[in-house]
Amino acid sequence: MRFLQLAFIVALTSGSAAILIYITGVTNLYWPHQLSDEDFDALQSLHSDFQKCVSSNGLGLQAVSGRDLCDVTLKFPSHTNSKWMDPKSGEPEGLSFKFNLCEAVATWEQVRNGTTILTKEFIDALPNGWEDYAWQRINKGIHLNCCENKTLCMEKLSLVLPETPPYFPRQFGRCAVVGNSGDLLKTRFGKEIDGYDIVVRENGAPIQNYTDYVGRKSTFRLLNRGSAKALDKVAELYDAGKEVFIIKTTIHDIMAKMIREIPIRNPVYLMLGASFGSAAKGTGLKALEFALSICDTVDMYGFTVDPGYKEWTRYFSESRQGHTPLQGRAYYQMMECLGLIKIHSPMRADPNRIVKWVPDHSTIAAARIASEKVLRRVGAGSADPVGACSIVKKQVKGKPIRISGLRMAAVEHQKYVEGSTMYPLEHNPGHGLLCTVPPR
């Protein structure tokens, strides 16, 4: 009998301990002990301003709190008509989408401080970078299933692989990213778009015959796999050699042949992108990511964002089924209410429109520190910008740092990071960076 009583007490004690461990573990998972009162206040301020911003600017969207200050659900009005149908289930797209504000703030801050262009410097700095990574960016063939033959791999990648990044954070001032949505035909944004310092466009979107709606200027063009295979046709869309092509996929044999033999006179680079979790997908998000890595401010045109626009179309072609438009619109609204972009659309056509309740820079900066702690990011909360670097390598000796001629904002950023270059480590669980630092 005493044995049974003892066993019961041990079991009860073990069960209580297990529950305590579980509760403690869950608490630590979401709110680590190292969060200070200032961290909680920063996240509270961010969450509060964000909800007010979405309510004031979201054209019917509402931001609803989740289980903690990081989680938020963006909900469309119940009368919203979703035109996208899931090809597997046949069900229409839902009207609510969950996002993580902490993940967004922390990841986009890294984007703003780093480079999105793949370079030789990056691959060289990776452990086994040529054998384990470089071949993934080349069409695989009998000799390219890995890059043991570095010479062969370099021959393939050399066409699109600069030694070091060709662009710097904050290098440009006001930038516009122009999507391909048919809603561009509802408002004549052409002259307004041409007034930006640089303009980023997507894939093979034409300019001729649409200049009143989309403008004439085109500085960069973000290309997906299909457009990269028609690089020669894309190059004909604008004055030959002027646009810079940023390819968000691998380099193809077809593309390499065009660059060598036509030749393509435009600069061509591969994009090295960050991971955004449950983000909007597609070329549009990558175009915004690229712009945010090189510009002070980014404005967005030609994305399907208004509730009154129900068809998923291109401005230059018939209706098509594309990415989930409501999820994308919700994510872009989140970006606007984090101060990353400003949306322009038929229902937001006033160029002087004020985005109300956007958290100020100090709130975003404090929330970024708190978010890194919550997410247990590499170097969480560090005042040292290189603190987030999982891999740190010395830059090539004698590498020229082109400070002269840069905008003051870019010069100040170079001073802030002490001349280091930051690259995202794709699919890194701690969202660490690979950083190259100047030789001392």
pLDDT at 2 over 60: no
pLDDT at 432 over 80: yes
- pLDDT given at position 8: 41
pLDDT at 96 over 70: yes
| Backbone φ and ψ of 114, nearest 5° | -120, -170
User: What is the SS3 assignment for 96?
Assistant: strand
Question: Two tokens at 129?
Answer: 């970078």
Contact 200, 290 (CB under 8 A): yes
Amino acid identity at 87: P
CA distance 340 to 288: 9
Which CA distances in Å does 351 have to 68, 191, 278, 285? 35, 11, 30, 22
Tell me how many degrees the CA angle 323-112-66 measures, rounded to the nearest 5: 60
Question: Two tokens at 214?
Answer: 């989309």
Tell me how many degrees the CA angle 112-37-114 measures, rounded to the nearest 5: 10
CA distance 22 to 321: 45
- pLDDT given at position 362: 94
- What's the whole-number mean pLDDT along residues 342-355? 95
Out of 2-11, 182-191, 313-322, which region has the weakest mean confidence (pLDDT)? Answer: 2-11
pLDDT at 243 over 50: yes
Amino acid identity at 386: V
Tell me how many degrees the CA angle 314-318-320 measures, rounded to the nearest 5: 75
Contact 100, 71 (CB under 8 A): yes
pLDDT at 400 over 70: no
Domain 115-364 -> CATH class: alpha beta
User: Domain limits of the chain?
Assistant: 1-30, 39-109, 115-364
Instruction: Count Cβ atoms within 10 A of the Cβ of residue 357 and give its class: 0-12 exposed, 13-18 middle, 19 or more buried.
Output: middle
Confidence of residue 403 (pLDDT cuts 50, 70, 90): low
User: Which residues 6+ apart lie within 8 Å of 265 measured at CB?
Assistant: 235, 240, 241
Confidence of residue 199 (pLDDT cuts 50, 70, 90): very high
| Backbone φ and ψ of 27, nearest 5° | -60, -45
- What's the whole-number mean pLDDT along residues 390-409? 78
CA distance 290 to 200: 9
pLDDT at 427 over 80: no
Instruction: Please give the share of the chain, as a percent, with pLDDT higher than 90.
Output: 63
